[in-house]
A and B are shown apart, each in its own frame.
Chain A
Amino acid sequence: MRPDSASQIMRLLGQTRIPSFENISNLSMNSDCTQVVVPEEVFFTIAIAGILENLLVLIAVIKNKNLHLPMYLFICSLSVSDMLVSLYKTLENTLIILCKMGYLTPRGDLETKIDDVMDSLFVLSLLGSVFSLLAIAADRYITIFFALQYHNIMTLNRALIILAVIWAFCAGSGIAMTIFSHETATVISFTILFPFMLIFILCLYIHMFLLARSHAKKIASLPTSAGPQRVNLKGAITLTIFFGVFLCCWGPFLLHILLMKFCPLNPYCACYMSIFHVNATLILCNGIIDPMIYAFRSPELRSTLKKMFCCTRSDWNYAFNSRGKYYKTLLVN
């Protein structure tokens, strides 16, 4: 299947206008759902903004020695995967523009290979994004429920090993899914993976949330507490934002994949699939929003960035003791 299709693709690559298109337009009905087109400039802007933002996070974590912790390693992993998604989209648009201008040969072997590599990259970054979110949730869970043993459980080496395993698995899955892309099992396993991961992460966070609620009730007895209601409302808002963003950005695309597989000729499905570019833009937006809700919530990371850009004297009186960081964070908040 793939060699035939590849040759067909390459035949189309060099052509800007295909005469038989007019026939097809005559065949299609007047009231069909026209493709909702998002301008190339919007795609490029969002993709490049995503790349830059995630790059900032990576640079901040690398520069500041205090941020060499497992928690920030997982946030970095998320940034890397978001960056890869944006990079993929940028590359794809660049290739299309090059094809339109005629710089790429239509039948080149190179183009097929680039195509395959980019598909693998896409799946790799999608899976990497989800697994990074899972790793962040698990790390926070261990921080809260195994607080005393945390530094023994989650050492830096173990975090690196976990990340290596995650990315190796994602790379393998990416290559496997690209090779077996026409199988139904691929599509089903891909779309089922996301809800399962989501539910699992949701359970972790809800358990943490319940614990925070019970602690807030205790703290309510102390004089200077803010009151449990305010703390828990903020927690509810935070959790809703986490999952709302995840669902809104990935959900439409996954539904698209499912409809594409199971009802390509249904008019309702076809109308849904006509908004594909909007769905792809949402995935790019996810790459922009994720650093804001994960990385930039850390005061230390924010101050690192401020120091890098504004060159102002931040307050670097953090005790290097890790517990000192927790205390300092509380006092700052």
Chain B
Amino acid sequence: MEEPSYCLLRRLAMSAHRLISNRTSQQALSNSDYTWEYEYYEYGPVSFEGLKAHKYSIVIGFWVGLAVFVIFMFFVLTLLTKTGAPHPDNTEPSEKRFHVSSFVADFGRPLESNKVFLRPVAEESRSLFHFYINEVEHLDKAKQSHKAPGLDSNIHFHEVARSSGRLEEELNCLTKFNIPNFVNTDQNSSLSEDDLLISEPPIILESKPVIQASRQILD
């Protein structure tokens, strides 16, 4: 025949079941009576003879395939969490914090120069930076014990600044949008806002909108 009997979506979909439903039953007419059954008479019925596989094989195959794909995606995502260089955080967390803070106090300048390393590639920059931090930790162990009790809000704010600067730079590397001036000025402005809201030790790092948003969204 000239015109196809199937046209759109609902009509498409609805008319399909007309073809194979048990037409003598009243119930088959319960939905969408106004379908293209009339035209299907011209197509003729579907012959179910000589089926090699089970008649619902497409249904079963589709759902099994979908389930396998979703589970596969889940495992890929979980594996992504496990791969990657393990962070060398065998030290006590508090000790680490002091390391970082003293690193800031004593080596404020070198952090600026470190920005040069952080630009090119995310992974390389991260590993370089971690290497730098580790080196500083080793050098600084002696001074740590003296500095630890002396933490005051100045160093703590510096740490926030440096850490947020680190993170912002990391972001820049990841997105390859290196706008140093913009980042610096914004960092200063955001720092002023953070000052108003900070009431705790550097945990406040978590409150940066970036990490915050990412965790909030994915949690």
**Cβ–Cβ contact B77 & A209, under 8 A:** yes
CA A108 to CA B131, docked complex, whole Å: 79
Which A residues between 12 and 28 are near B, CB-CB below 8 angstroms? Answer: 12-13, 15-18, 20-22, 24-25, 27-28
Given the interface pairs A219-B206, A260-B16, A272-B62, the reply to whether A181 lies near B9 with Cβ below 8 Å is: yes
Q: Shortest 8 CB-CB distances between A and B: which pairs?
A: A181-B8, A235-B218, A232-B81, A236-B77, A21-B23, A35-B21, A273-B16, A212-B214
The yes or no answer to B210 lying at the interface (CB within 8 A) is: yes
**Cβ–Cβ contact B48 & A221, under 8 A:** no
CB-based nearest A residue for B87: A217
Q: Residues of A contacting B208 with CB < 8 Å?
A: 147
Which of B20, B58, B87, B210 is in CB contact (< 8 Å) with A221? Answer: B87
The yes or no answer to B152 lying at the interface (CB within 8 A) is: no
Tell me the interface secondary structure of chain B in the complex: helix
Q: How far is the CB of A262 from chain B (nearest CB, A)?
A: 11
* Among B39-47, B110-118, B142-150, the stretch in contact with A: B39-47
CA A206 to CA B24, docked complex, whole Å: 52
Q: How far is the CB of A290 from chain B (nearest CB, A)?
A: 16
Q: Residues of B contacting A190 with CB < 8 Å?
A: 9
CB-based nearest B residue for A298: B216
| Residues 256-276 of chain A, each 1 if its beta carbon lies under 8 Å from chain B, else 0 | 110111001111111111111
CA A188 to CA B55, docked complex, whole Å: 26
Interface centre among B28, B29, B38, B81 (most CB of A within 10 A): B81
Q: Residues of B contacting A280 with CB < 8 Å?
A: 13
**Cβ–Cβ contact A267 & B46, under 8 A:** yes
**Cβ–Cβ contact B9 & A326, under 8 A:** no
**Cβ–Cβ contact B214 & A211, under 8 A:** yes
Which of B39, B78, B182, B190 is in CB contact (< 8 Å) with A233? Answer: B78
Given the interface pairs A32-B20, A182-B3, A264-B19, the reply to whether A122 lies near B97 with Cβ below 8 Å is: no
CA A332 to CA B48, docked complex, whole Å: 60
Which of A21, A149, A209, A259 is in CB contact (< 8 Å) with B80? Answer: A209
26 residue pairs from A and B, CB less than 8 Å apart: A5-B39, A12-B34, A16-B26, A17-B26, A33-B20, A93-B31, A96-B31, A148-B182, A182-B4, A211-B174, A222-B205, A223-B93, A232-B78, A236-B77, A239-B73, A244-B70, A247-B69, A251-B62, A253-B13, A265-B46, A267-B46, A273-B20, A274-B16, A274-B21, A326-B213, A327-B197
Q: How far is the CB of A227 from chain B (nearest CB, A)?
A: 11
**Inter-chain contact total with CB atoms closer than 8 Å:** 332
Tell me the interface secondary structure of chain A in the complex: helix
**Cβ–Cβ contact B48 & A267, under 8 A:** yes
Q: Residues of A contacting B155 with CB < 8 Å?
A: none
CA A4 to CA B38, docked complex, whole Å: 11
* Chain B: interface residue total (CB-CB under 8 A): 99
CA A147 to CA B170, docked complex, whole Å: 12
Q: Residues of A contacting B12 with CB < 8 Å?
A: 181, 187, 256-257, 260-261
CB-based nearest B residue for A268: B58
**Cβ–Cβ contact B13 & A260, under 8 A:** yes
The yes or no answer to A324 lying at the interface (CB within 8 A) is: yes
Interface centre among B58, B73, B168 (most CB of A within 10 A): B58
Spell out B's residues near A (CB within 8 Å).
2-14, 16-17, 19-24, 26-39, 41, 43-49, 51, 53, 55-59, 62, 66, 69-70, 73-74, 77-78, 80-82, 84, 87, 89, 93-94, 96-97, 126, 167-168, 170-171, 174-175, 177, 182-183, 186, 190, 193, 197, 202-203, 205-219
**Cβ–Cβ contact B59 & A275, under 8 A:** yes
Q: How far is the CB of A137 from chain B (nearest CB, A)?
A: 10
**Cβ–Cβ contact A215 & B210, under 8 A:** yes
**Cβ–Cβ contact A231 & B219, under 8 A:** yes
Q: Residues of B contacting A34 with CB < 8 Å?
A: 20-22
**Cβ–Cβ contact B197 & A35, under 8 A:** no
**Cβ–Cβ contact B30 & A37, under 8 A:** yes
CA A32 to CA B46, docked complex, whole Å: 8
* Among A45-53, A138-146, A154-162, the stretch in contact with B: A138-146
